[in-house]
Structures are given as C-alpha cells and as structure tokens.
Amino acid sequence: MTFRQRHLLGIEPLHPEEIKTVLDLADSYADLNRSATKRSDVLKGLTQINMFFENSTRTQASFEIAGKRLGADVMNMAMQASSIKKGETLIDTALTLNAMHPDLLVVRHPHSGAVNLLAEKVNCAVLNAGDGRHEHPTQALLDALTIRREKGRLHRLTIAICGDIAHSRVARSNLILLGKMENRVRLVGPPTLMPSQIDQFGVEVYDDMEEGLKDADVVMMLRLQRERMDGGFIPSEREYYHRFGLDAAKLAHAKDDAIVMHPGPMNRGVEIDGTIADDINRSVIQEQVEMGVAVRMAAMDLLTRNLRAGAEPESVLV
Amino acid sequence: MTKTFTNARLINPETGSDAIGSVTIDGGVITALNGAEVGEVLDCGGKCLAPGIVDIGVKIGEPGERHKESFRSAGAAAAAGGVTTMVIRPDTTPAVDTPETLEFVIRRAGQTAPVNVHSMAALTKGREGREMVEIGFLLDAGAVAFTDCDHVTANPKVFSRALTYARSLGALVIAHPQEPTLSKGAAVTSGKFASLRGLPAVSPMAERMGLERDLALVEMTGARYHADSLSAATALPVLERAKAAGVDVTAGVNIHHLTLNELDVGDYRTFFKVKPPLRSEDDRMALVEAVATGLIDIISSMHTPQDEESKRLPFEEAASGAVALETLLPAALRLVHAGAIDLPTLWRALSLNPAKRLGLPGGRLAEGAPADLVLFDPDAPFVLDRFALRSKSKNTPFDGARMQGRVIGTWVAGTSVFGGENA
C-alpha cells in the first residue's frame, strides 16, 4: 500500500497502486460512516480550509462533513464574496491563508491549472475540488469506489461516459482513472461537446447512444453544463434529450445489470429520464454521494499522514 | 573614426557567403570588404561578424507601461542581443495612432536607446478596427509600417479601405492573420495537449482563414502587405500560392514559434503563453523549413515585456507574450546547430529581408551600408538566467535553458554599443 503524493491535484499524477490505496481506505471509511458513531480523530487538531472560487453546494458539503467526521477544524470560505472582489490575486490569497497555518486546503476554481498554481505557493496539502475543465480527482475516485463496490472489480469493465465531455472536468478525471485501471472507456456525445483529438486518449468515441451503450457495464451520465454554454453547441434541449438523454430504450442496449451514474446535480428530462434516476435497481446516484464523503476522508487522511511525515513525502510508506 | 575588423568570419546574407575576411568602417558606414587594414585594427579571432539584427516586432512600454520596459532598458537588451535596429510596435497605451504620439516615441527613443529605432503606427484609431489612422501624416512623421498588431481588423470593409488608402501612399500594412471569432478566448492550440489540460483552445485553421481573407483583400486592393506572426503549417500553402501569383506579400514568424512547441507549456507555465499560441512540433518544423526555403522572409523577436504580476496568474488569465530581444540570436542559432539552416540564410531573415521590406538602410554587409554590426561566437555555451536579462521584464521562456551563441560586440553606425573593446 503506497500513497506518495503531497497534494491531490489530479488523477494524472497517481499510480494505479495509489488509486487502490485510496479506495481501500475509503472502503473502511464507508463502513465507519454507516456505523452509529461515525467519528474518527485522525485529523484532530488539524485545520481544513475550503476555498471555493466557484459555487458549489454538494462538493463543499461533502468535504466539510468528511473533515468534521475525522475531527478537523473546518472553515468554509466563499471566495466570490471576499477579497478577489477587492482585486487580490490568487497567489496573495493563498499566501495570506498559508500564514494561518492550515493543514489542508480544499480548492475549487473556475480556471484550469489554478489549483496547481496555488499548490506551488503553500506549505500545506492541497486538494483539487475541481479546476476549470481540467480535473476533479475526488469525483473520479468516488465514482471508481462506487463502481468497484457495485461490480466487485475495477478493471476490464466497459464504461460509457455520456454527454458534455468538452466542458467536463469530471469526464477528464474519470477517463484518466478508468484508463489507468485498464477498463474500456467509451465517450458518447455530440461532436460539438467532444474535446479535440480526444480519440488519442485511448478511448472509443461515439456520437450515437445506442452504439455507445451497447454491452456497457456502467453508464455514466454527465450534467449538460448549461451555464457554460456560450451558445450554439446543441440545437435545443429537446433534441439533445431525444438523441442523448438516457431513457429506458437507450439503456436497454447496455448490459442487463448495467449501473447508471451521475455526478449531480441532475437535469431531469435533459440528460436523464427521471424514472431511471430513481430506479433503485439501476441507479447508484445516491451511493455516489455517500462514497464521496468516504473517498474525501481517505484522501485527506493519506495526505495528512504524508504531511506529518515531513518534507519528504516520497519516502513514506503507508 | 576608421576601424578594420580583421580575421572575421563574415556572414553575408546578400551573397550567401560565409568566409574569413575583413570589414573596414569609416564615418558610420562600411567602406570596404576585404580591403587594406586601415585605422584601428580589431582582430575578431575567427568569430562571426554579421550585419546587426533588424527586429521588426519590438514592444516597448512607452507610452503607458514604462514599468515593464523603457527605451533605455530595451535598447540595452537590444545592444546585448546584437539587435542594431528595433522597429517598435504601436500596441502601446495609448496606441501610436497619431503623429503626436509617434513624435513622442521617436523623441524618447532618440534620447535613450543606443540602437536605431523606427516606429510603426497603428492601422486604425485605437487599434479598434473602425477608422483608419492619418496614414499620410504618420508617414511624414516617420512611420515605417502600419499595423494593429494582434488586433485583427475584423470588418473587411474597413480593412480593404485602409489597404486601398495605404496603397496610394505606398505604405506597408502588417497584420497578424487570424479569424478572430474562432480564436477569441483561446489560450493554447486545440489538440490532445489542450484537451488534457482543459484549456480553451483554437485550431490553427483560424490562422489560415485569416490569411486567406487578408490575401484576398490584398489582391483586390494591390496594397503592400506583410503577414506577421505566422505559426501554422496549414497557412503556408496559402502564402506560397499568393507569392507565386505575384501578390506583393511577405511573411514573418516569431522566434518562439521556431524554437518551442505547445508541449513546452507543460504544467501551466505562463511564460510560454504567447499569441498566437505555441503550435505542434509538426508546425514548428514546417515553419523552420519555410524560413530555410525563403517562403517566410523575416524572423522577429515579438518582444513583449510583461511583469511578474501579469504572468503569475492562472493560465487563462495570464498575459500573453515573452521578452526576446536578448535571446533572439542564441535561440535562432539553435536552428543552425540543429542543421536546419546555414548562417547566411538565417541572417537573410534576421537582417537583410526586414530592412529591405521596411525600406531601412541596414541589414547588409556591403560598401556604403551602415556600419551596424554584430560580432558573435556561435558556439559559446551558456545557461540562461532570466534575472541577468537587461529588459525590465524577465518573462522569457528560456529561463534555465542551455543555449549556444553569445554576442561579443555590437556596433551601431560604427560606435560600440555593447562589449567589443576586448574582442
């Protein structure tokens, strides 16, 4: 079992063994979360600051609960309302917070690479809670944990990721993670919502749901990021739902025991039919939320172990 | 004062020769090649002596951003980099778009810069693409070309009228071709790297579209046109066709697009953010080839000083541009050391062609030409330290890079402006 990272900035730098380490530990935290006490004190005395430069309810709540269950002192900073409005740069904000000696910084930012930039300037462990269209590593890890618990394994599965791939950091982190764990990854969506040269990432690309879902073990739907659409990617929501929305007819092309996932928040009737989202035999959407807390607990636990071990996290074996 | 440079490896872009010889200068001009040793004798020790570089893409922070670069600091950087003529860009704050601002920059340059300085003027007022500037007055005041730099004159009617008016005065119009609606907001070139990093991207096709439009309007109006900042392989056949058809067009490339590619951005390194964005390695190789064959006429530094604050930001928000006056020569020599081009051919693009296209006297190693010279050791290795640069801004992508080629001395009109005395 190894985990040698100082920060969790993305899935890209992780070794498959490190991914496995996070998931194994998260499994035990999932059990803890279902128990009556739900408490641990591995982060006791440590300070966790959640810095969200972009609106988020679910992810921020998940990180907050994860930190509190582990005994950390958690502070939330709504960055839109604060000093950036006064013209302070990201680096100055980071240095200011760094001077307060936090142990964990959880950061979401609307620009790709902003969390990497911030991590260069602080002494604590930084967790990327989503940066622009780049990565959202804890989402990919919670999806992986959900898949592993449902399917009993995390390799040689056929996984279809469907919808707005281009604007999705969730899709990027997921396709990197699932590829590292040796799964067959398919991307399904209209070509206007596909990143350029995405076929060079070792994935199969489809613009037809029925073909893309054929014999899939996992169907992962993405939110159609309406707030990011500055116009003209798709003709209309109703045509999108008709061609790419997940309904029973399209899902019938996947394997009989295929699970349906969604990172939330859902647009019912846009990318997913409400009855499928609520179908407890197919949909694991609620379990994803549950695993989100467990995975974040595991990630913060591992990062602070490395932090405590000193300046040379590379030398630490968990 | 008469001076003879002896035992020099003369790089002559006009004749294409590269041979040991001597140069005699007097009264600020070259009086003889391989003549008698007269006056003060400077033994060059077999190092390269070439016409000083004529750099047609230099941004100075005057007026508006003197904290980023002044004529004094840029002039010192130019002299140290073997650049004897800076042709400065009008994309200042405010833009150089009236005879009055042009007179200001020419006066400032004359007071503080040790090298020759000529200024371009904006093509449209405020570089906004709506109304043409006073092209006639600006020509009289000394403007050597008209350009809105990285602002594309999006309205074809405005652009074609400006071209028509410029033609009647024989003025050169320079543009950075780009389809602006496609490239709006882009920080990198679309492709695998952009997708992996999740950065807003533009296809190189936007450059070809911009060039095709410009060339159609140039053909229609008969204006003199220079397509600068070309970066995409896909644009080159378009350029080739126009040249073959006899359109009055030349083309330029920036040094960074000849020496770096998109992957150099790596982990969101903003010093590698330039405009147009760095392209693929295939594009880079095609551009080098185009310089070697002469399809691309001019290499410039596109020297764009940016302070630390403009660069220490998330990649999308960070300012574009890189300083290059001092690194232009060693960076360009990378092409020579890689075997892609010989020195006289390289100097065609660095000095002869830009001087010819802008109607400037320098750029030649010939009797009667100005004694603007650079003496350099093409092989001397060094590791670049950005804080040792003379520019006020230190935003070079070559920080820590291993380079070869050092300037030993630079002379402008026969006067030493850098090193030289111990040569």
Closest chain B residue to A201 measured between Cα atoms?
B192
- Within 8 A by CB and 6+ apart from A156, the residues are A182, A183, A184
Among candidates A89, A113, A201 on the partner chain, residue whose Cβ is nearest the Cβ of B197? A113
A vs B, Cβ pairs < 8 A, gives 67
pLDDT in tens, A285-296: 999 999 999 999
pLDDT in tens, B123-162: 999 999 999 999 999 999 999 999 999 999 999 999 999 9
Which of the 8 DSSP states describes residue B52?
P
- Nearest-CA distance from B263 to chain A in Å? 15
Closest chain B residue to A193 measured between Cα atoms?
B195
Contacts of B266 in chain A (CB under 8 A): none
- pLDDT under 70 in chain B at which residues? 420-423
- Nearest-CA distance from B315 to chain A in Å? 7
Contacts of B280 in chain A (CB under 8 A): none
| Confidence band, pLDDT 50/70/90 cuts, at residue A230 | low
Contacts of A111 in chain B (CB under 8 A): 314-317
The tokens of A1 are what?
Answer: 């079992």
pLDDT of residue A237: 86
ipTM entry:
0.88
pLDDT of residue A93: 86
Which of the 8 DSSP states describes residue B132?
B
Closest chain A residue to B201 measured between Cα atoms?
A196
| Averaged pLDDT, A52-72 | 95
**C-alpha distances out from residue A27 to A200, A262, A286, Å:** 33, 20, 16
Contacts of A91 in chain B (CB under 8 A): 312
Please answer yes or no on whether B314 and A90 come within 8 Å at the CB atom. yes
**C-alpha of B214 from chain center:** 21
pLDDT of residue A84: 61
Is a pLDDT exceeding 80 seen at residue A179? yes
Q: Which residues of B156-174 are buried (b: 16+ CB within 10 A; e: fewer)?
A: eebbbbbbebbbeeebbbb
pLDDT of residue A229: 55
pTM here is 0.92
Interfacial residues of A (vs B; Cβ cutoff 8 Å):
12, 89-91, 109, 111-114, 116-117, 131-135, 169, 172, 195-198, 200-201
- Which residues share a beta bridge with B173? B146, B225
Is a pLDDT exceeding 70 seen at residue A1? no
pLDDT of residue B175: 98
Is a pLDDT exceeding 60 seen at residue A314? no
Which of the 8 DSSP states describes residue B277?
P
Positions of A marked catalytic: 58-59, 86, 108, 136
pLDDT of residue B422: 44
- Nearest-CA distance from A47 to chain B in Å? 26
- Which residues share a beta bridge with B250? B226
pLDDT of residue A316: 46
Which of the 8 DSSP states describes residue B350?
I
- C-beta separation of B270 from B318 below 8 A: yes
Q: In chain B, which among 241-300 make CB contacts under 8 A with chain A?
A: 267-268
Q: In chain B, which among 191-250 make CB contacts under 8 A with chain A?
A: 191-192, 194-199, 201, 203
pLDDT of residue A318: 44
- Within 8 A by CB and 6+ apart from B342, the residues are B18, B336
Percentage of residues of chain A with pLDDT beyond 90: 80
pLDDT of residue A77: 86
pLDDT in tens, A84-93: 666 778 888 8
Is a pLDDT exceeding 50 seen at residue A197? yes
pLDDT of residue B189: 97
- C-beta separation of B57 from B227 below 8 A: no
pLDDT of residue A90: 87
| Averaged pLDDT, A19-33 | 97
Cα angle A263-A267-A268, degrees, rounded to a multiple of 5: 110
Is a pLDDT exceeding 50 seen at residue A69? yes
Among candidates A91, A112, A201 on the partner chain, residue whose Cβ is nearest the Cβ of B197? A112
Is a pLDDT exceeding 60 seen at residue A7? yes
Closest chain B residue to A133 measured between Cα atoms?
B198
Please answer yes or no on whether B191 and A109 come within 8 Å at the CB atom. no
Is a pLDDT exceeding 60 seen at residue A6? yes
- Nearest-CA distance from A197 to chain B in Å? 5
**The CATH homologous superfamily of the domain defined by B52-362:** Metal-dependent hydrolases (3.20.20.140)
Percentage of residues of chain A with pLDDT beyond 70: 93
Strand (E) or helix (H) holding A20: helix A16-34
- Nearest-CA distance from B325 to chain A in Å? 28
Which residue out of B196, B263, B272 would a mutagenesis test of the A interface target, given it has the greatest number of A Cβ atoms within 10 Å?
Answer: B196
Is a pLDDT exceeding 90 seen at residue A313? no
Contacts of A53 in chain B (CB under 8 A): none
Which of the 8 DSSP states describes residue B352?
I
Domain ranges for chain B? 52-362
Cis upstream peptide for B63 (omega within 30°): yes
Among candidates A117, A195, A200 on the partner chain, residue whose Cβ is nearest the Cβ of B314? A117
Among candidates B191, B309, B316 on the partner chain, residue whose Cβ is nearest the Cβ of A112? B316
Which residue out of A197, A203, A225, A230 would a mutagenesis test of the B interface target, given it has the greatest number of B Cβ atoms within 10 Å?
Answer: A197
Q: In chain B, which among 313-342 make CB contacts under 8 A with chain A?
A: 313-317
The tokens of B93 are what?
Answer: 């704050």
* Strand ranges, E, within B34-150: 40-43, 48-51, 53-58, 83-88, 116-119, 146-147
Rg (alpha carbons) of chain A, rounded to whole number: 19
Please answer yes or no on whether A111 and B196 come within 8 Å at the CB atom. no
| Confidence band, pLDDT 50/70/90 cuts, at residue A225 | confident
Is a pLDDT exceeding 80 seen at residue A226? no
- Nearest-CA distance from A123 to chain B in Å? 18
